[in-house]
Amino acid sequence: MAQAVRHDAMRAGNLAVVLGELDRRGPLTRAALAENTGLTKTTVSKLVADLIDAGMAVESGAVRDGERGRPGVAVHLSGHRVAALGLEINVDYLAARVVDLTRTVRLVRTQPVDNRSSSPDEVIGRLRELADGMLGEAAGLGLSVAGAALALPGPVDRSTGTVHSAPNLGWRQVAVADMLDLPLPVVVDNEANLAALGELWFGSGTSLGDFLHVSGEIGIGAGLVVGGELFRGAHGFAGELGHVVVSPDGPECRCGGRGCLERYAGQDALLPPGAEIGDLLVRLSSGDRPAKEACERAGAALGIALTTAVNLLDPDTIVLGGIFAPLFPWVSGPAEEALRARLGHMRAHVPAVVVSRVGADAATLGAAGQVVQRVIADPMSFLPTPQR
């Protein structure tokens, strides 16, 4: 029995090594996999057979083997069976994405809805319906969803799936994961953290160095990616850019503070009540002066908060996401100007400000991506049949 446990642990570790290698460098022949991992060819062949059975890997055509020049059959990740569900509750929409193991987006749903006018029960009920629908559609595509992750606009206790406080939703201490009660494992995380990971896995990747990803919605959050990993802080609450103090005696904020960035650059500060970001874009495109000035004010406030963030966090690059992605042409200039004016004297390197490649999808993609990471790190736990 102890032997069986040890054998299973070793097999679990080896499956993860092979799948991780396929993820990072596939397609690869079995010979190349053996060479890269240090496992024997026999072991690799058996592990690859298991991964193919599980629908996580698939053989492709013959490739030339770099080392020996003989053609061999290559193996690569398969997106045909295993998938992940990314969910998001934000202030004015619900969203869901199904992503397969190759990180290809397979299903997309976004429901505009004002969640501030509903109770957590109602909102979570609507999300459950959305998620159930997505699971059904995924099954129709032959996909088996390994797990879900949910993005929320506030600090989250990931161990219990509880959001401590989402001031823009008016939520406090809501046990979201329990209430959602989906028929698969669900983790809950902060929207801005997942958006930064979405940018890392589905957008700019590691090409930006260490980056601070800014998620602008009704609220504003940020996630810092250092060396390809998210910097979470001691309690997972780092990156609350929206509550950086821009002006200490400024207007009251829902967080209990005053003069927070959100009050100057959040969606509510940019748009008249009831208006949508699309309306603002139309006005901006037609050269509407008040619209441009609103963006300039928001960009300047963002630049002040980012100056502070750069002084504390020192990233290589700042990525503007969420609503700041479509508004980039109008907000990035004033933000960069503030950064250069305030930082240029003291630092050789003022971070570049670039636009997100995934925009408003970042958090939902990051959520799904987190499930994909879990499968790749521990494929044995997601094999379809019990192993003993």
Please report, as ranges, the residues that interact with a second copy according to CB under 8 A: 154-155, 164-165, 167, 209-210, 222, 226, 231-241, 243-248, 255-258, 304-305, 307-309, 311-316, 341-349
Between 126 and 232, CB nearer to a second copy: 232
The sign of the torsion formed by the CA atoms of 41, 46, 47, 52 equals positive
Residue with tokens 């506030």: 154
> Minimum distance between the CB of residue 305 and a second copy, rounded to whole angstroms?
8
Residue nearer to a second copy on the CB measure, 218 or 309: 309
Beta-carbon contacts of 162 under 8 Å, excluding residues fewer than 6 positions away, are 156, 173, 174, 175, 176, 177, 188
Q: Which is nearer to a second copy, 65 or 240 (CB)?
A: 240
Map tokens 């570049």 to a residue: 352
User: Residue 323 CB, nearest distance to a second copy (Å)?
Assistant: 20
CB of 296 to a second copy, least distance (A): 14
Closest distance to a second copy from the beta carbon of 199 (Å): 16
Nearer residue to a second copy within complex by CB, 272 or 344? 344
Q: Measured between alpha carbons, how far is 366 from 255 in angstroms, rounded to an integer?
A: 25
Minimum CB separation of residue 312 from a second copy in Å reads 5
Cβ–Cβ < 8 Å for 21, 36: yes
Q: How many whole angstroms separate alpha carbon 316 and alpha carbon 104? A: 28
Nearer to a second copy, 93 or 237 (CB): 237
Q: Closer to a second copy at the Cβ: 239 or 366? A: 239
- State the Cα torsion 44-45-50-53 to the nearest 10°: 140
Q: Is-contact 232 238, C-beta < 8 A?
A: yes
Residue whose CB is less far from a second copy, 92 or 314: 314
Q: Among residues 145 and 230, whose Cβ is nearest to a second copy?
A: 230
- Half-sphere exposure for 305 (CA within 13 Å, toward CB): 30
User: What secondary structure does DSSP assign to 178-198, as a single string?
Assistant: HHH--SS-EEEEEHHHHHHHH
How would you classify residue 259: left for phi > 0, otherwise alpha for psi between -120 and 50, otherwise beta? left
Q: Report in angstroms how near the CB of residue 234 gets to a second copy at its nearest.
A: 4
Nearer to a second copy, 205 or 384 (CB): 205
Shortest Å, Cβ 148 to a second copy: 25
Distance between CA atoms of residues 166 and 170, nearest Å: 6
Nearer to a second copy by C-beta: 247 or 373? 247
Q: How far is the CB of 351 from a second copy (least distance, A)?
A: 8
Cβ 23 to a second copy shortest distance, Å: 26
List alpha helices for 26-118, DSSP H: 30-37, 41-53
**Do the beta carbons of residue 243 and residue 237 sit within 8 Å?**
no
User: Rounded to whole angstroms, how far apart are CA atoms 97 and 106?
Assistant: 7
Distance between start and end Cα atoms, the chain: 11
Which tokens hold the place of 349?
């390197």
